Structure 1
Amino acid sequence: MTISLERFELPEPVPNPKCEFYLFCDNDRSPVADFLGKLENRDFDAFMVRLRTFAERGEIHDPSKYKAIQSHEGIYEFKIWGWRLFCFHHRRKCILVEGCRKQSDRATNKNQAAYKRASSCRDKFLLYYTEEE
């Protein structure tokens, strides 16, 4: 399995960002890029505002917009108009992992499966950074 990260550029660059965004690519495929491409314009614009704020501050300031998942440090869930995107925040990198539709407040099988896939990537990310440094 080939694991790589692809830089994700914000439409309006942030001067001196405290956090940069990367898409998780597995075997030269980026499901997150496909997910972002399917968002409607209003969803994409709202999402970009949140990403820009995150990049400027480098941390979570408004818990109503971002949510730490089950107390896992560095794993966050962005909610965009009923969509979820899992993220790993590691040092100055925020890695966008997977998007799925939020059906209700209780987890559906699809959401549980998406979370398991995102969680299983965490060790791979840490291994990636260990090899990089």
Structure 2
Amino acid sequence: MYTSIRRMIRPVTLFFKKCGLFYLVSLVCCATAAGEPVELSDCDTCPTMVLIPKGSFELRVPPWGPGHPHDEGYFYPVTFTKPYAIGKYEVTVGDWGLCVMDSICPQVETKRLMREELPVFNVTWSEANRFAKWLSKKTGFRYRLPSNAEW
């Protein structure tokens, strides 16, 4: 199924840091059948992506400042005219390690041992961008940080 889907789409991949964990996202230029989860990957060692169909939703903007009720705030509409893909799992220590081995990304500073299958953390925005550029060069697709709505 992957090869037939790959012929239909041309992904532009995105990279994101949220709450210390990293996710990958790809924008694609055509829709797939609704209801059927589609997984894809740009290379053998690249993270698995899940295709999200185009559509609309309301993004909640929380209230600012202390003392505001939880339900205060407002919503604004967001529409995606093209489907996109997001990493099925967080970027792992093993994924990050491949970038470190290529001397592009720095070794992650931590006081505890990190297993390869666990999510990478303690990575700065700048380091995340460096990882995205490395992955772009490796795959031939463009990686970047997504917007809040894309997340």
Of structures 1 and 2, the one scoring higher in RCO (CA 8 A, sep 6+) is 2
Name the TM-score class by shorter chain.
under 0.3
More strand by share: 1
Q: Report the TM-score when normalising by structure 2.
A: 0.25
Output the TM-score relative to the length of structure 1.
Answer: 0.27
